[in-house]
Amino acid sequence: AEASILARNALGLAEVAELNVTRGHERSNAFRLSLSKPRLFGSECSIALGARKHLLSRERVASHCEKVQAVDATLAAGTAHGARGAHALSYELALREVCKLTPAASAAVRARAAARPALRSGV
């Protein structure tokens, strides 16, 4: 099952807010909230912010579940078809965790779970 809500220009500033919720098979689910604003302060820059959380059940094939919580931000300048080209700077911070190990879990999965939650950051 999947549901989405999209709001455009609610404050009159050309902003877009979107919420996506997905419920999958065997406890898998996902949630994503994103906000974007084109023409930031009247310039050719745009900004996009996002937050997501998902639980991926791999119990059927890999004997574990994986939880991910993340936030991201992107600042883009220029237009893709303009003379200057398009440039973007993005950042993401994510917390990943292996959970719900079953006795049949492989050694590699057990090693990832023993490492505790992993915080990843990328530009």
66-118 pLDDT tens trace = 889 999 999 988 765 655 557 889 999 999 888 777 776 677 767 766 767 88
Q: How many domains does the chain have?
A: 1
Give me the domain span that covers residue 98.
Answer: 2-122
> Going along the chain, which residue ranges are E strands?
2-8, 16-23, 29-37, 45-57, 65-77, 87-99, 118-122
Residue 5, C-beta contacts closer than 8 angstroms, at least 6 positions apart: 18, 19
Q: Does residue 21 surpass a pLDDT of 80?
A: yes
Q: Does residue 5 surpass a pLDDT of 90?
A: yes
The model's pTM: 0.74
Q: Does residue 123 surpass a pLDDT of 70?
A: yes
The residue assigned the tokens 């930031």 is 40
Question: Which tens digit of pLDDT belongs to each residue from 38-80?
Answer: 888 888 888 999 999 998 877 666 677 788 999 999 998 876 5
